[in-house]
């Protein structure tokens, strides 16, 4: 079955995840993380993608990014994936695939969901029980977005910059977003959208994108099967 081409409207943020094949390890140590970040920076610049937030876990990667050219996220991820697999196989004496097929992604409505995606991504190590606070995990963007660590990889989204009048105020207000964990309902919405490739946003956002792209970006409501009795339970 032919796979549909990815939808990549310019200027619309996307949540991206790429997993190791069969959830196997894709980062074996610090040098692997360093190499991946280096090439992520290189290819995000080459293909004109703004990277707002990220987390590198032992067997998967989350990114929050905005394309500035058509198909730029796919081009970035393909180049990054090939480069990193060659490096990883050579360094670890292995052959074959590393990633679990194509990366998954979903379009994100910025006004309602973008800052939640920042939190979802940077809280990943906390949910996994690796650290107690997001600030304790080095391989995410939290120390850049919430503290004073500098990074040439990170491009702040306009909604992030609107959190304060200056850097200190922005970072303080950003840290306040992490006082509470993400609600279970919202976690479910984020995961369903990402796994299904549907848009994450309100109905107006989805309808406008469907008109723009000619593709369905919302899940169909499951109705009663033909001939099913109304009072059947």
181-191 pLDDT, tens digit per residue, is 899 999 999 99
Q: What is the pLDDT of residues 72-81, one digit of tens each?
A: 999 999 999 9
Q: How far apart are CA 124 and CA 130, in angstroms?
A: 9
According to the model, what pLDDT value does residue 152 have? Answer: 94
Confidence band of 215 (pLDDT split at 50, 70, 90): low
| Residue among 129, 176, 125, 151 nearest 34 (CA) | 151
Q: How far apart are CA 40 and CA 43, in angstroms?
A: 5
Tell me the mean pLDDT in the region 106-130: 95
Does residue 226 lie in a domain region?
Answer: no
Alpha helices (H) in the chain, listed in sequence order: 30-46, 72-92, 115-122, 124-127, 142-145, 158-161, 167-176, 184-196, 203-213
**Domain containing 47 — which CATH number?**
3.30.70.1290
Number of domain units in the chain: 1
Does residue 102 lie in a domain region?
Answer: yes
Confidence band of 45 (pLDDT split at 50, 70, 90): very high
Q: Using alpha carbons only, give the angle 75, 50, 141 rounded to the nearest 5 degrees.
A: 115
Question: Residues with Cβ < 8 Å from 107, sequence gap 6 or more?
Answer: 7, 9, 12, 13, 14, 199, 200, 201, 209, 217
According to the model, what pLDDT value does residue 218 have? Answer: 58
User: What does pTM read for this prediction?
Assistant: 0.88
Does residue 225 lie in a domain region?
Answer: no
According to the model, what pLDDT value does residue 220 have? Answer: 53
Does residue 228 lie in a domain region?
Answer: no
According to the model, what pLDDT value does residue 60 have? Answer: 97
According to the model, what pLDDT value does residue 1 have? Answer: 41
Q: What is the pLDDT of residues 138-168, one digit of tens each?
A: 999 999 999 989 999 999 999 999 999 999 9
Q: Residue 20 is part of which domain span?
A: 14-200
């Amino acid at each position: 079955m032919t796979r549909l081409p990815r939808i990549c409207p310019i200027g619309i943020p996307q949540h991206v995840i790429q997993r190791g094949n069969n959830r196997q390890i894709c980062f074996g140590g610090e040098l692997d993380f360093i190499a991946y970040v280096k090439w992520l920076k290189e290819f995000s610049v080459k293909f004109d993608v703004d990277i707002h937030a990220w987390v590198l876990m032992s067997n998967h990667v989350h990114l929050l990014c905005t394309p500035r050219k058509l198909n730029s996220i796919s081009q970035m991820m393909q180049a990054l994936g090939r480069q990193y697999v060659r490096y990883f196989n050579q360094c670890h004496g292995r052959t074959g695939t590393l990633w679990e097929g194509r990366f998954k992604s979903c379009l994100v409505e910025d006004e309602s969901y973008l800052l939640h995606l920042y939190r979802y991504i940077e809280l990943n190590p906390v949910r996994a029980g690796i650290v107690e606070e997001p600030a304790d995990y080095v391989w995410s963007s939290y120390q850049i977005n919430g503290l004073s660590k500098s990074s040439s990889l990170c491009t702040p989204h306009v909604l992030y910059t609107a959190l304060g009048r200056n850097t200190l105020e922005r970072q303080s207000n950003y840290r306040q977003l992490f006082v509470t964990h993400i609600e279970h309902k919202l976690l479910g919405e984020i995961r369903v959208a990402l796994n299904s490739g549907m848009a994450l946003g309100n109905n107006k956002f989805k309808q406008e994108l469907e008109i723009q792209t000619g593709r369905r970006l919302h899940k169909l409501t499951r109705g009663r099967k033909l001939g099913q009795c109304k009072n059947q339970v």
